[in-house]
A and B are shown apart, each in its own frame.
Chain A
Amino acid sequence: MKKAMTLALGILTSVGGFFDVGNIATCTQAGARFRFQLIWAMLLATIVVIFLIEMSGRFAAVTNKALPDAIREHFGFTFWLVPFAILTVIHILVLGAEIGGVCFALHLVTGLPLQVWALPVAVLLWLFLWRSTFSAIENSTSLLGLITLCFVVAAVWHRPPLHDLLRGSLPSLPSQHPANYWFIAVSIVGAVIAPYLFYFYSSGAVEDEWDASYIPVNRAVSVIGMAFGSVISIGAIIVAGVVLAPRGIHVDDYHQAALMLTSAFPFWGYVLFAVSMGIACLGAAVEVALSMSYTFAQTFGWNWGEDLAPDEDARFCLVYTAALLVGSLFMLVGMDPLQLTMITMALSAAALPFVAIPMLLLMNDRKLLHDAANGAISNVAAAAIVVLTLVLAVVSIPLAVVGGS
């Protein structure tokens, strides 16, 4: 019974974790500029993220250790230091972008400028983290996150030509704007394979006290949950491709994306977009902030856990408090949330080897994992993923310079 609940919740949570500000930005840009031609990038990223999430969950279930914990203890502090520092910067940037997404959603609803919302959003997030337990966070973000299904409903309502969808599912060369095309493709991968997902997911598995009997549950959660999240993202690509692309509207600013649901839902479309974006980013922001706390606490061996009261893990709470403060600065100083998101996605893609390579090495340690260590299929996939992440790391930043509009 508990496992059935875990399964349902896990799937919903991973939907929440999957669809966030990075997906909203990259999917609407992809659809607006290249219609369905970049769906393949989303499919590729989904397959990769399924493998990596499955590995991080399996690792946590068998060893009772989350990833940052295991990496520090396995490879030593000096090895972990550089990835740790890079991932901390990425965490802060992603948190800033997610807060930006929430601020923009509130701006759509209230008409007030984004700066006004930066601190209230940070305080709201902080209260949420301070007061609630891990399962409360899981339940609320996952159920509210279902609102993002409106993108799928809108996509179906628009009846996109199936033939074009299928053609977009296979990689193809762009007829124009190649730099922009590849930049968006890389950004989609960076947005989907967000580093915080793995630290959050494996730490969550430890918080939920998974054991080896959860391996099948973990497998189902990662496959179904990520596929589900991917469907929502593809929905967003399709809607942008149907509504924005034919009108020649590109998404250089979130205001341009906000118009995409009003054709399918004449009276609710505008509010639905705002609410979807707000909730998706709010849920993701909570996960990013927690992931940051998990990473710090595990790196230094502090007491950690969202189920503990704050006076039992003061340093854990200090980390997310500081992260939220720094993360809200980006909006406070008036940075454009879309630009912040796109820079962050490119950097995130560049940092992927630091996530993928230690994970691949850990998953092959038979002293730790015994029979649950990676088999041949997982390892071929993992090796391919490492190659892919290395390529992305090399091309992402130059592409951001040339292809980022």
Chain B
Amino acid sequence: MQCTNAGMRRHLLFALLLIAACSRTTADQASSWVATLQFTGEQWLAGRVPTSFVRATIDSADRALQKTKAPVAPAARAAAEEMRQAIDRNDRAAVARLVKRFASLHAST
């Protein structure tokens, strides 16, 4: 099997560009989802969004975070799971704590 040098290089370059593009957007997305979870928690505490919305948002966030390889993802997913349980218990103190945790996670990204 033969492969020309130029062709190889072009493919490699393309792959690298693709990886660069993807990894950047996923890291971005992860950070954006952490911010979303924080904001959603705040809004829930203020009584501005229903519990069902927070659950659905956590589902979407979890699905998106699962796909990324961003370093923040595992911690964010764990916190999201805790938040789900906290809103189900209507545990406002726990949600307030989790909002702070999301804030610090977001700051670290």
Contacts and interface: CB of A to CB of B under 8 A. Distances in A.
Given A250-B28, A250-B29, A259-B36, A402 B21 contact: yes
Interface string A228-251: 000000000000000000011110
Contacts of A249: 32, 35-36, 39
Interface in B32-69: 32-33, 35-36, 38-40, 43, 46-50, 52-53, 55-57, 60, 64
A405 B25 contact: yes
Nearest to B43: A262
A255 B50 contact: no
B106 interface: yes
Nearest to A258: B53
Contact of A179 (B21, B29, B52): B21
A252 interface: yes
Contacts of A270: 43, 48-50, 53
Contacts of A250: 28-29, 32
A256 interface: yes
Which size class do B's interface residues fall under? 20 to 34
A196 to B, nearest CB: 29
Nearest to B53: A108
B21 A262 contact: no
B63 to A, nearest CB: 9
A83 to B, nearest CB: 33
Contact of A247 (B28, B39, B56, B57): B39
Contacts of B47: 267
Given A255-B56, A270-B53, A247 B35 contact: yes
A262 B25 contact: no
A52 to B, nearest CB: 33
A253 B64 contact: yes
A107 interface: yes
Contacts of A405: 25, 28-29
Contacts of A375: none
Contacts of B48: 262, 266-267, 269-270
A111 interface: yes
A256 B56 contact: no
A396 B89 CA distance: 47
Interface in A99-142: 107-108, 110-111
Most interface-central of B21, B35, B56 (chain A CB within 10 A): B56
B36 A255 contact: yes
Given A247-B35, A249-B36, A262-B49, A255 B29 contact: no
Nearest to A261: B48
A252 B52 contact: no
A43 to B, nearest CB: 27
Contacts of A255: 36, 53, 56-57, 60
Interface in A349-390: none
Contacts of A269: 48
Contacts of B25: 180, 405
A256 B35 CA distance: 10
A209 B52 CA distance: 48
Most interface-central of B39, B46, B55, B106 (chain A CB within 10 A): B39
Given A255-B36, A269-B48, A402-B21, A248 B106 contact: yes
A318 B50 CA distance: 40
Contacts of B49: 258-259, 262, 270
A266 B46 contact: yes
Contact of A248 (B31, B53, B55): B31
Nearest to B109: A248
A108 B60 CA distance: 13
A259 B32 contact: no
Contacts of A180: 25
Nearest to B56: A255
B50 to A, nearest CB: 7
Nearest to B32: A250
Interface of B: 21, 25, 28-29, 31-33, 35-36, 38-40, 43, 46-50, 52-53, 55-57, 60, 64, 106
29 contacts: A110-B52, A111-B52, A111-B55, A111-B56, A247-B38, A247-B39, A248-B32, A248-B35, A249-B35, A249-B39, A250-B28, A252-B29, A252-B32, A253-B64, A255-B36, A255-B53, A255-B56, A255-B57, A256-B32, A256-B36, A258-B49, A258-B53, A259-B49, A262-B46, A266-B48, A270-B43, A270-B48, A270-B50, A270-B53
Given A258-B53, A262-B49, 7 more contacts: A111-B53, A111-B56, A247-B39, A248-B35, A249-B35, A252-B64, A256-B57
